Every structure is written in C-alpha cells, then in structure tokens.
Structure 1
C-alpha cells in the first residue's frame, strides 16, 4: 500500500533498527568497530537509550541535533535515536574549521550538539557564539564530563532501553545533510522519513544486489550522503553488517581494514582508487582483496584508466555512478557484469532522467545538455534558501548542475559541471575528457583541466598536473603531455598550457575544486 500523504505512521528508526529484531536478527553483528562488535539488539538498546536521554533533557519532535561525530557506533546511535523521537539529526563534516561549525549550528538553529571529545575541543572556545545550542553532549573515554557539557556514556547508562517511535509519517522531515559547499556556503538539504528506504530499495537491492550476507566497508564517511547509505542504512536496512573506521581514509589503512575485516562490498571515491593504485605501484606490496565481490565509486566521474588498472590488479570491477546530496544517493550507475568504462552507466530503476538545453527542452541522444532527474529520494528542498530552491528543485525534477549526454544504448557520459564546460573555437569541450586522456599517461597521478583566456580573450584548455612520485616537472614533460593529448583527441582539445603542482584543491569528499584553480 502506498502510504504517502495518508498520515500513516512511518518512522525510519523503526524501519531500519526495530524491524531487524522482529526478523530474528537480535544476536547478529550489525557493526564492527575497532575490535568491538555491536549486535542488532545492542544497537537497538543504545538507540532507545539515546532517544530517551534526549527526551529527558527536553528535546522533542522537530528539534534539530547537530552530529559532529567520527564514524563510530555513537554516530549511528545518535542518528537513529534522534529520528525515533521525531528530532532531526544533522550530520556534519568532521574535517572543517571552527568557523564552519559556528555556521552549521547557527544556520540550522540546532538545540543540541553531540561531538567526539577531540572535535569539541577544537570549537569549545566559540560556545558563547552558538546562538541556539542548549546542550552539548560529548563522547569521551574520560568518564568525568567537562564543565557545562553532558557525558554521552553517562547519559546512555541512566536511560531506559524501552522506547516506542514517535508518530511521524512518510513525508515528515527526518534528517538534514549539508551540501559540500564547493562554491559558497553549504546548504542545509532536508530529507524525509522515506528517502533512505527508497534509495535502499532501488540502488542497494536492485543494482548492487546487496543482501543480509554482505559486509560493507565505506572509505567515504558517514556525514556524506554517499557514506551514510554505504555504511549505515544500506547494511542496516538489509540485516547485513558494516565496518566503521574513524580515521581519514588513506591507501595503507584502507588496505589494512580490507584484509582485517574481509568486506564483500567496498565503496570508494575516484581520488582514493587512484591513490591506492599508485601506492601499490610505488611500494610493490600486494594485498588480498579476494573477499570483495564488488567495488563502487561515486563523488565524481571515475577515470577509465583507474577502472582498467584496478581490474588488472585485482580482477574486480568498479561500478562508477553519480549521486548527490539532494538526491541522497546514486541515481546513475554501471551494473554488475555491465561496466562501460568512462561512463556513469544507466539510470537506476525508480528514477527518471532527461537531458535538456538552455531553454529546458529535451535533447536527443549524443547531445550534451543539463541533466535533470526525478525520483522519490530527492530532498524536500534547502533550508531557508528560497531562490536557490526555485533554481534547483523544479516541480518533480532536480537540476543536478551536471553536463551529460546519453548515447544510443542508454549509457550516460559525464562532461563536467555546468560551469566547468569549455567552449573552444565555438565547440563545447569536456574537461573530463581531457583529464581522462592525460591520466592514461604513465607520468600523471592527478589532473584538473580548466578554461583560461588567452591574449585575444578566447578560452583555451589549461591542465594542472600532479606527477607521480620521483618525477620532475620540465619543459620536455609539458611538451610530451600536450603531444600525448593531440595524438588521442581532436587537436583543438589539447591543453595549450600545463602547470605542474604538488596537490590539487579538493573538497573533503575528494571532488576537485576547479573554481579555486580558476581564481588562483
């Protein structure tokens, strides 16, 4: 039965936590974390305790809870404990500056902040500037709470393990996520109670073929839309298990986690796959990835050389896909046994797409335009951003801000962000195409291509290149890279200049921030 708009009770904490107990999975391990194993029963108990603790300190329905937590059981407990009482959890990036957290707290008007001790220590000097915060809950090994904060562990210990979900419905607000803010301030993206179940059903089940026997490991963190599904509501919604790693993902610790815990599904981002490939090539070490049945990539387009090198090294496909914070998870994806290197794959069942021109008119196959999507995991809108909402959310459709074309076989090909596309000699040029070509050169580790105006104010491609370790930037290398592109792509696409740099500017998700290269 379709319960949308009917006022029928629906609470995501019941759907993703309580139902596992009803299915007889109480003793199954839900979370593996630093040697700790948390069963579904233990997870439900902690979720209920946290929800009751929030009620005890005066938190009610629709109150906002800012979650500033490392990947850990406490993150998941805080998230679903908040949802269960009708409060609205807001996970935020744990790698930001103190002023960013001041923005998150004041923009969201959160009444409660929950943070790991080391993160709270970075911002506690600003507490007098947090306009709406009434309670700070700190997760710490030290049982003695600091002044004016509440101990997470003591809060749970004092609370009951029995808690019924509050009456929320299918279309109630459930949680927020902040967009990455690659241009301008992050936007509060409001997601509803049913959004996670839609993404789980249509992508995790139908595309990844995930089930209760899977063990997931996501290098992308829980506070990202991508990581939230990978490491939390996908495995929990299926009665599977998840591996959590609080540290920042680096090739060496990611390989170590894979060999230690033996996941079946691994989620990464393009820059990490590139770094892992380079790490193996530089160190000569070998790693056992035989437990993994499928690898997934999102965040930005995965260069085809990475797919081919990974396949050669580990005999594993990487399923590249595209999603967004607004759509919650992936809506275009390659398939198991159907990988088209360099493409974002085909539409995920349950979603619809169209590629349109500047006037909003649909374009035929093989013509580049703006990608629009429709699906029931798309957010309600942005918090307090009326004009941005009108631009992004157009009736049932979401304007992704991505340039794409679809070929005659239904595969989608990424051509860059709408403001990244280059018009060279009156012809649209995709920076991604040039980047993928340069990545095939054995000397190139990472690359970003932007448009640069020449002395006649005409736009020409410029490449920023990070060379592999031990290689020196020279004029000869620059000429070699230009010639390499000329031989593989149409001549007008080659970069007229190449600048060698030590590191590309990126968001914490690993997306390259080309706008910083344009202004820098």
Structure 2
C-alpha cells in the first residue's frame, strides 16, 4: 500500500519483523547464525527488548544510535529495535580506524553507541572526545566483565520487557542513516526514510530476484553496507525468507564453506570476491557444493566478463551484475534471470527511471556516454548537514550518480567509469573499465586498475597497475605481452602505455578500487 501523504502510521520494524509473526511465520527460522537457528518470534521478542532497553535510557524519536557491530543477530535486534521506538540507527563499518569512529559519532551526534567488545577496545581511549555520546552499550561474551563506564547489552536486554508498541512514525519519517564509503573525502551521512526498504524490496528483490519465503539469502557483503543490508537482512525478512549471518571476514574459503553448510538459495557478492573465489577454486583444484544456490548477485563495481564466464564454468551458476548506491539504498540497474548481457549493468529496475545527460544536463541519445541520473522512491532524503552537496547531487526528483554510462539500442546500460575516472586519449573518451576487463582475460592477471597519466607533452595516456596471480613473476617481457594482448582485443589507442606491477590495489572496504589514490601518488 502506498501511504505517501495519507498520514497513516508506518514503522519499518513492524513491516519487516512483526508482520511475519502475524502471518503465521513465527516458528520459521529467520536467522541462521553459527549453530543457532533464530525464529521470527524469537527475533521479534529480542527487537522489542532492545527497543525497551533504549527507552529506559531516555532514547526517543529522532535520537540517533550508532551501531558498530559484526554480522550477528545483535545487529538486527539493535537496528529494528531502534526504529521501533522512532530512534534512528546508524550502522557503520567495523573495519575503520579509531579516528573514523570519532568522526561518525560527532558528525551524527549519536546519543548511544551499540558496539561489540573487541571493537570498543580499539576506540575506548577516545571516549572523552565523543562530544554527544551519553551511553556506550557493549556486546560481550557472558563471562567478560563489563568495562567501567559502559553498559552490558545482554544484561539490559534480558531485563527489558518483550512487549513493545511501535512508535507512531509515518511513511516519510527518518528511519536510519548509512554513511557513504568516503573514497574521495569524509563519509557523508545518507538519510533514509521509513518506506525506503519496502521500495527497494518491491522493485529489486521481488521483481528481479523473484524472492519468496522459500529462499535463504547469504550476503558476503556486510550488513553495514547498503548492499549487504538488503541482501542480508530486509530482503529476506520482507518476504518471510531466511538469512545467513557470518561475522568473520569474507575470505574465499569462509564464504564457500558457509554456502556448503547453510545451503542458501541466493548469494550476494562483489566482483573482487568472485575473482578470489574463482582463483581459490582453481588453485586448490576443489569445487565446493553450491548446488543449493539458484542465483548469484554482484554489485559494487562492474563484473568482469571473464569472472562471469569462469563462475558459470566452475559452478554452473549465473551472476546477475547490477549497480546501486548508498543514496539509492540498493540496485537500480540489473541484469535479469534468463536475460544477461555480458559486460553490461543490465536494464533499469522496475520502479526506477534513468536518463543519461551531457554536461549541460540535456538527455543524450542511445550509444552516447554521459552522466547517469536516476529517480525512484528509495533515493535518500539527502545528506546530513551538507547543503552544497545536496544541491549538486539531489536535483529535484533526480539523483546524480556520478557514474558515466551509455544505453544501447536495446535498453542495456554500459558502465564507463566514474565521472572523474574517464580518460580522454587523443580526444576520445576511454573507459578504464574496458581496459581493465580486457587485461583480466589474460591468464597471468589477477587484478588491475587503469588510470590516466600525462606524458611530457601533458597528453593523457592509460597506465595499468597490475596484480599478478600467484606464481607469476613480473618482467619487462610480460609487460610487453600484456600491451600486445590489449592491442589485439581493443582499439589500439586504448592500450596501456605504461604497466606497473604491484602487490595489491587500494580499495574501499566494499571492494571498490580507489583509482584516485594512483592518480595522486
């Protein structure tokens, strides 16, 4: 039901948790976590207890609660428990430096912090610098003594009531924030509303993935990412399905073993992970049992065609490549089951609209590269406290993604890089992604990043930073071979004039390559 403008109450916690119990799914497994199986009814009680716990601390509507948790049930209890009382949960990346958490807490002005013990130990020395923080609620093992000046998550939760009425929030009230990755500056607080998760569920999960209550979802991308929040939490809960939570770092072995153990039907990964899982499988000459999986999803960056083909060869599984953003909450361009165009980001997801424009904002015809703008009802309310950036990015109903794309005559969208990643070589736009995808097809190459550098005449030329596969040694002859390989597969003007072999590529925690770091090095 579309509740916009009607003024009726709408609380996302009620929609994604209580509705499943009310529909008779109370005894169904909602969460697979280690050797636990947590039902919807058990989850509902825990969500209510956390909500009541926060109320006893004086938290109320619009108060912000920072969540710094691993992928565990406590993350979910804290997220929906906060929303249920009208507070605003803010999940943040668990892999950052202490100074980053100082920024998150002070920028958001969060009154409460829910955090795992090991993560608190890394930042507790900065406690006096958290200007607005009143309550630190630590999730620790039952035999670990509560740190002085903090509260015990479990003790407080167990003492709280299991009954809780939802706060009288409405469709367009704030529900939660997510911080953008901040690859080119300070992270931005992205404000999402109560209805945004439902829109993403209906547009992508139901339309593209055909998700039903019979599915089990597993997202290797963590819950604090917009991509993982959908695939690992509100997508399955939105249809009464189940999710698998794995708190460990998603190495190829951890992920493949988890798929064998929990037998998910839908798997969410990122291109870098698929590449490492392929390499891990081939290197160990062992194919894991992924027969439970009916479809795989990829987002974060374009999926190299070579990964798509190798994954299909190794595991007979298709990968639906798509693109989304923190601001849009989830995927808005995607390939479809039975309709995959290799190398493309697919077509517009139902419910969204897209247009490609030139620098003046005028729509471009098919096959011309321009800036991608999208609109849809899960696009964020805006950035917290960033007036100028809001004006630049949120253009009425349209959001300026910062991505360069073109749309072909059949309606498929083709990614050409970030607006500041595109190269103009000899007066012609060149996509670094196209060169990278070509080099990844060479048997010696594991990962690659292409950027533009200037020669002695200040003309731009492509340079490739390459990570080689295990056992392959860098050499001048190999560099020459890779240049020739590119010339054979692409227009000659696109080949990388310089190749530099490196041990690793700089990436965001979502796995996106940070090309800008090579440009400024």
TM-superposed CA distance for 1:120, in Å, is 0.4
Does the CA-based 8 Å contact 2:287-2:314 persist in structure 1?
no
For 1:95-494, what aligned pairs fall within 5 Å after superposition?
95-143=95-143, 144-494=145-495
Query: What secondary structure, in the 3-state scheme, does the structure 2 residue paired with 1:182 have?
Result: coil
Query: What secondary structure, in the 3-state scheme, does the structure 2 residue paired with 1:484 have?
Result: helix
Query: What secondary structure, in the 3-state scheme, does the structure 2 residue paired with 1:311 have?
Result: helix
Residue in 1 that maps onto 2:77: 77
Superposed CA deviations along residues 444-472 of structure 1, whole A, max 9, x for unmatched, are 00000000000000000000000000000
TM-superposed CA distance for 1:64, in Å, is 0.1
Does the CA-based 8 Å contact 2:217-2:231 persist in structure 1?
yes
Distance in 2, matches of 1:142 and 1:478, equals 56
Query: What secondary structure, in the 3-state scheme, does the structure 2 residue paired with 1:23 have?
Result: helix
Distance in 2, matches of 1:84 and 1:417, equals 37
Superposed CA deviations along residues 229-249 of structure 1, whole A, max 9, x for unmatched, are 000000011100000000110
2:2 corresponds to 1:2: yes
Residue in 2 that maps onto 1:60: 60
Superposed CA deviations along residues 196-255 of structure 1, whole A, max 9, x for unmatched, are 000001100010000000001100000000000000000011100000000110000001
TM-superposed CA distance for 1:264, in Å, is 0.3
Distance in 2, matches of 1:84 and 1:337, equals 39
Distance in 2, matches of 1:50 and 1:440, equals 50
Distance in 2, matches of 1:341 and 1:189, equals 32
Distance in 2, matches of 1:35 and 1:205, equals 29
Query: What secondary structure, in the 3-state scheme, does the structure 2 residue paired with 1:103 have?
Result: helix
Distance in 2, matches of 1:451 and 1:405, equals 21
Note the aligned Cα RMSD (angstroms).
Answer: 0.6
Distance in 2, matches of 1:5 and 1:80, equals 24
Query: What secondary structure, in the 3-state scheme, does the structure 2 residue paired with 1:384 have?
Result: coil
Distance in 2, matches of 1:412 and 1:286, equals 33
Query: What secondary structure, in the 3-state scheme, does the structure 1 residue paired with 2:170 have?
Result: coil
Distance in 2, matches of 1:488 and 1:45, equals 58
Distance in 1, matches of 2:287 and 2:363, equals 48
Distance in 2, matches of 1:499 and 1:245, equals 36
Number of residue pairs matched? 520
Does the CA-based 8 Å contact 2:271-2:302 persist in structure 1?
yes
Superposed CA deviations along residues 382-440 of structure 1, whole A, max 9, x for unmatched, are 00000000011000000000000000000000000000000000000000000000001
Task: Give the 4+ runs in structure 1 shifted more than 6 A.
Answer: none
TM-superposed CA distance for 1:34, in Å, is 1.1
TM-superposed CA distance for 1:341, in Å, is 0.8
TM-superposed CA distance for 1:283, in Å, is 1.2
TM-superposed CA distance for 1:27, in Å, is 0.5
Distance in 1, matches of 2:368 and 2:106, equals 43
TM-superposed CA distance for 1:311, in Å, is 0.6
Distance in 1, matches of 2:310 and 2:50, equals 45
Distance in 2, matches of 1:29 and 1:282, equals 36
Distance in 1, matches of 2:459 and 2:2, equals 55
Query: What secondary structure, in the 3-state scheme, does the structure 2 residue paired with 1:24 have?
Result: helix
Does the CA-based 8 Å contact 2:181-2:187 persist in structure 1?
yes
Structure 1 residue runs without a partner (length 5+): none
Distance in 2, matches of 1:387 and 1:330, equals 26
Superposed CA deviations along residues 330-363 of structure 1, whole A, max 9, x for unmatched, are 0000000011110000000000000000000000
TM-superposed CA distance for 1:2, in Å, is 3.0
Does the CA-based 8 Å contact 2:68-2:115 persist in structure 1?
yes
Residue in 1 that maps onto 2:21: 21
Does the CA-based 8 Å contact 2:416-2:431 persist in structure 1?
yes
Distance in 2, matches of 1:2 and 1:37, equals 34
Distance in 1, matches of 2:476 and 2:163, equals 69
Query: What secondary structure, in the 3-state scheme, does the structure 2 residue paired with 1:115 have?
Result: strand
